[in-house]
Structure 1
Amino acid sequence: MSDLAELDEYLEHLCAALGHADRRVSLRDYCQGLMLPIARKSIEPLAAHTDPMHVCAKHQSLHHFVAKSTWSDSAILESVRNWVQPALACETGHYWIVDDTGFPKKGKHSVGVARQYCGQLGKQDNCQVAVSVSLATELGSIPIAYQLYLPKDWASDAERRRKAGVPEDQAFATKPEIALEQLRAAIVAKVPPGVVLADAGYGDETAFRDGITEMGLLYAVGIRPGTTVWPLGVSPLPPIPQKGRGRPSSLLRRGPGHEPASVKEVAMGLPTDPYQQVNWREGSNSTLSSRFAALRVRPAHRDIWRSAQRAEEWLLIEWPEGDAEPLKYFLSTAPSGATLEQIVFVTKMRWRIERDYQDLKQEFGLGHYEGRGWQGFHHHATLCIAVYGFLISQRLNDRGAKKNSAQPKIAPLPDNYLARGSRANAAPRA
């Protein structure tokens, strides 16, 4: 079967999740437009290049399909996952990678836009942020859940919510809370269970880690240097013995010699013997390698309100040779018999999400949506993930295929084409 025939079959597979047959043409046109080698992939350029002789009409139909039509994002993402998942199957197991990505934005009317940390810029700025979960294996990965983070000032502003079409039941939730809901939905959808991976923005939240454990999942998550733990041999004091009548105390206590330590203090106090050089995968130019140590600890956050210590976990410390202090810290609920090499390999699988977002933004215009509404933001992202899913399945099913080998041909624009909003006397674009 040719690549374009496979693309037709794939798009027909997605169309089955739309609910109405009259949406099929728009889905096909939008997805094929996202695969074109054009610089901007907002609605107008997609309309111009998919139907250059009827740009206005095509623009209206695509805009309605993305911004107004009420098809289900979760149904399309499930269809994408069902198509890609067999090609991802791998003996080394599955991973569920939690992350978020930012989109710089000007103004204040686009849904969810606020001054917040933007990973794309590496600083605080005006942007939108979306939280996602990707299903990954050693072979590849695909996002299976995607949701805009709605800051508190947006969640509490009824007028802005109304204008942006935010659903009434969409209350404020932190990013870790959004991620936990996405993980629960993945379990309900019977996605192959995997080790949950996340950076310190999520892993530092005790409630996030506890939530993962309550679901019966393992994790390997980043934490910040100040996160406190109980090293082996150090523990809190037992509850105060009961004296006289009354309800006995059941809470753990701290005191001299019974204080937790930050993971940085633990790392700096270790001798050099536990640290070993570990290679975890082949990079594009060389083998990726660093120096690690792993030891058993118990997380200590707010355990003065508990009657028993938390279970033991692995503290993984990355301290590259020659650096003055450790680079990264991780907590993992990997089995107690896991080797250092296994813990490092699993923890470092989080790099897959970086490849996802790089391709989704650079190849398929994930951040190019120019509308302001909640529904349009999510519909555009879903369709970007859909075409990315086809690319991933192609790469995995035919390892020798060239990147984007099924890319549709770009149609030339007519000589008299003018972009919407251009001056009537502007020079026509080639």
Structure 2
Amino acid sequence: MARGVLPEESSKEVSELIDVLISLFFESLPRRDQRNWARVYLNGLVSTAGKKTIRNIAGAGASSVEQSLQQFISKSPWDWAPVRRSLAQYLERTAQRPLAWVVRPMVIEKAGDRSVGVGRQFVPQLGRTANCQQASGIWLASSEASFPVEWTLTLPGPWTSELLRRRRAGIPDTARSLTPSQDAVHAVQRMAATWQLQRRPVVMDLSNTEVPRSVEALYAQDIPFVLKVDGTLPVAFGAAGRQRPGPYVAPARELIDSLRSQRRVVEWTRHGRGEGAVTLLTSATVLGAHHEDRPGPPAHPPLLLMGAWTETALLPTEFWLTNIGDRPLAQLFLLAKLTDRVQLDFGDICEQVGIRDFEGRSFRGWHHHATLASVAHAATLLATRRPHEGQARPAAHDDGRYGTPRPAPVPPPRRPLNPGRASRHEYIR
């Protein structure tokens, strides 16, 4: 996608908002010159044409500016965590109807082997082996907009086991080699425990092997979740008893398809397109993902397995596991589809402010760049996207039966959806 420059009027609005955000998010930076260089870098991310490298942001012939930005991004020891936390807290107060935290993987292909975390590895999102960095963003998402607020950078084994490589990249002693999903779940747990955020569902995709461990980790901190899984995932269902031996185990696709007579019609609007869509949904209560290595009963209550058919599909095509049992399927489905909202904003905004463009080699530099790109994303989106009267919003209508779909009614004004939130919890601690 071509890297355009904002129109002059929009650029001015974004720059003015950046000045405000600097005073809100960067108070933790101890020196005024650091905050000034943050301002220069942020304005460069939103206004520089082409790739958002430090050299391009500094401009031709500005070697002193380039050196100062290089120092600020790659070597200066300022802590990015307070900036990200302040950004998340601000967006919770100002974003329109935030619904969930969405985990989105990000793959950054590289030509060499010096960038921190790079390595040849199989990437499910690409369906092939690539020389790349793997990262994950945690996004605050609503039907109208989404914002990245936290990032993880996955470190393949050699980056944590080889002392020389670790020292050159400045990788902290506490960093471990985990899978991208494990890194993301740990980040969500950290946010839940220390960021003083409202309790919202976490939406993410998981491979079958990651499901049991991730479910246990999220349940451990009472975090609501909607996890997209593969139809081949073995799930346990049914209770043992005199008349009903069990539990039974079957692939998620097989269990959901056996309940096709209970499907309900959901009509909704695709994010960013204004196109109507029809989906058929059904669900089943399951004990959890079956784990041959851990045959005992799960350490958490039963889960809801939700399955979806598109209009023309003969078999169910999408599957989710959730611990949110007190919401209609239509609402749970819209939560799951917030991944589409994030995908749209990632391409339209986050890539345009250079989230993939960092060319430095240090762990600290990568996280500094990702933090500033997140603030640039927020400034661009908040300053340039204004809600308009009559603007179509994604909506869903569950008519309670399987038959000819009806037009979705215009919904009345409603409070922000916060599925699964217990009234006794104002914050996750």
With normalisation by structure 2, the TM-score equals 0.79
2:203 match: 197
Alpha-carbon offset, residue 193 of structure 1: 1.1
Residue type at the aligned position of 1:275: R
* 1:81 equivalent among 80, 88, 91: 88
1:45 counterpart = 2:51: no
2:23 match: 12
1:99 match: 104
Structure 1 Cα separation of the partners of residues 124 and 357 of structure 2: 16
Residue type at the aligned position of 2:68: S
Measured against aligned partners, the alpha-carbon deviations of 1:345-372 in whole angstroms (never above 9, x if no partner) come to 2222222321342245431011111111
2:183 match: 178
Alpha-carbon offset, residue 84 of structure 1: 2.6
Alpha-carbon offset, residue 393 of structure 1: 2.5
Larger Rg: 1
Please report the RMSD computed on the Cα atoms of aligned residues, expressed in angstroms.
Answer: 2.8
Q: How many residues align?
A: 374
Specify every segment of 5 or more residues in structure 1 that has no aligned partner in the other structure, as ranges: 239-254, 402-430
Alignment of 1:1-400 (within 5 A): 3=13, 4-48=15-59, 52=60, 54-90=61-97, 94-118=99-123, 121-187=126-192, 188-201=194-207, 204-231=210-237, 234-235=238-239, 259-270=248-259, 272-283=260-271, 284-302=273-291, 305-306=295-296, 311-335=301-325, 337-395=326-384, 398-399=386-387
3-state DSSP of counterpart to 1:86:
helix
3-state DSSP of counterpart to 1:205:
helix
**Deviation >6 Å, runs of 4+:** none
Residue type at the aligned position of 1:344: F
Alpha-carbon offset, residue 196 of structure 1: 1.1
Residue type at the aligned position of 1:207: R
Measured against aligned partners, the alpha-carbon deviations of 1:126-176 in whole angstroms (never above 9, x if no partner) come to 110112222223332222211210012322121211121111221222323
Contact 1:94-1:193 within 8 A present in 2 as well: no
Cα distance change, pair 323–94 in 1 and its aligned pair in 2 (3 A): closer
Contact 2:305-2:320 within 8 A present in 1 as well: yes
Fraction of identical pairs, as percent: 24
3-state DSSP of counterpart to 1:381:
helix
Structure 2 Cα separation of the partners of residues 155 and 377 of structure 1: 16
Cα distance change, pair 322–72 in 1 and its aligned pair in 2 (3 A): same
Structure 1 Cα separation of the partners of residues 247 and 182 of structure 2: 32
3-state DSSP of counterpart to 1:273:
helix
Structure 2 Cα separation of the partners of residues 360 and 104 of structure 1: 19
Contact 2:349-2:381 within 8 A present in 1 as well: no
Structure 2 Cα separation of the partners of residues 300 and 120 of structure 1: 22
Residue type at the aligned position of 1:358: G
Measured against aligned partners, the alpha-carbon deviations of 1:204-236 in whole angstroms (never above 9, x if no partner) come to 4211111111211211111112212233xx345
Contact 1:134-1:141 within 8 A present in 2 as well: yes
Measured against aligned partners, the alpha-carbon deviations of 1:363-412 in whole angstroms (never above 9, x if no partner) come to 1011111111111111111111111111232256x4359xxxxxxxxxxx
Alpha-carbon offset, residue 197 of structure 1: 0.6
Specify every segment of 5 or more residues in structure 2 that has no aligned partner in the other structure, as ranges: 1-11, 390-429
Cα distance change, pair 306–42 in 1 and its aligned pair in 2 (3 A): same
Measured against aligned partners, the alpha-carbon deviations of 1:6-45 in whole angstroms (never above 9, x if no partner) come to 3322233334232222212211111111011501110101
Cα distance change, pair 177–295 in 1 and its aligned pair in 2 (3 A): same
Contact 2:211-2:289 within 8 A present in 1 as well: no
3-state DSSP of counterpart to 2:47:
coil
Structure 2 Cα separation of the partners of residues 281 and 164 of structure 1: 45
3-state DSSP of counterpart to 1:319:
strand
Cα distance change, pair 282–305 in 1 and its aligned pair in 2 (3 A): closer
Residue type at the aligned position of 1:287: G
Cα distance change, pair 139–323 in 1 and its aligned pair in 2 (3 A): closer
Cα distance change, pair 94–322 in 1 and its aligned pair in 2 (3 A): closer
Structure 2 Cα separation of the partners of residues 206 and 135 of structure 1: 24
